[in-house]
Amino acid sequence: MTTRDIDPVYLQPTPTIESDHAAIRAFAQGSAAGAGDEVATAVALYYAVRDGIRYDPYRIVLSVDGLKASRTLASGHGWCVTKAILLAAACRALDIPARLGFADVRNHLSTERMREHMKTDVFLWHGYTDIWLNGRWVKATPAFNVELCHKFRLKTLEFDGRSDSIYHPFDLEGNRHMEYLNFRGDYADTPIEAIAADFQAFYGPMLAATEQADFDTDVARENL
């Protein structure tokens, strides 16, 4: 199957995957300048999102405005879903098919504040980007920026455009880091209503408790 055979929906802008937004197009073009082929371009975009946008799970706004790629780019921070949305938008802006993938994971990276209010280490609707390269879909997970990985003693998650880039099961000390429990499938746009319903049911108190807190401060406190 060639790119021409891919459903065109994976190349089109959506309310959250704003591949036609001027700022997104400029970001994509600037990040991939001189990259060469589609694989090198996708890799360049991955690292631009992974390290150029700080991971912050405290600022979750489950609406079109809160999830759209241009907001994440302008703010300079995002969580796994919004960073995956931004990467998908950047890929589509350069005519590389991309979609969103979701999974439920057991995540051992969290702060005391999150552990206290979530009451679970299961994270529903973890987001990643699925990119069409060399005739196949390849998973890319740009969530954790390199500085965060260093603070938590995690292996940085690399992406070569050929192999799936999903979380490591263990950290650098050999402790449990991430376990994939359930893959929810792939989507052309963000399934906001489904995510919002599950988050409200399972994490309602956590969302309220973290919205006025600062993730970087909590991370620094736990890594003194």
pLDDT tens for residues 116-156? 656 677 889 999 999 999 999 999 999 989 988 887 777 88
What does the pLDDT read at residue 179? 82
Pairing verdict, β 122-133 and 136-140: antiparallel
Domain extent listing, the chain: 3-222
> CA 38, CA 84: separation in Å to the nearest integer?
18
What does the pLDDT read at residue 205? 63
What does the pLDDT read at residue 224? 45
Cβ 64 vs Cβ 72: under 8 Å: no
Cβ 99 vs Cβ 134: under 8 Å: no
Please, is 149 exposed, middle or buried when counting C-beta atoms within 10 Å of its C-beta (0-12, 13-18, 19+)?
A: buried
Two structure tokens written together for 44: 């360049």
pTM over 0.85: yes
Two structure tokens written together for 35: 């990259």
Cβ 38 vs Cβ 97: under 8 Å: no
CATH class given for the domain over 3-222: alpha beta
What does the pLDDT read at residue 150? 81
Two structure tokens written together for 6: 């891919």
What does the pLDDT read at residue 155? 82
> CA 115, CA 120: separation in Å to the nearest integer?
7
Report helix, strand or coil for 134. coil
Q: Which residues in the chain land under pLDDT 50?
A: 209, 224
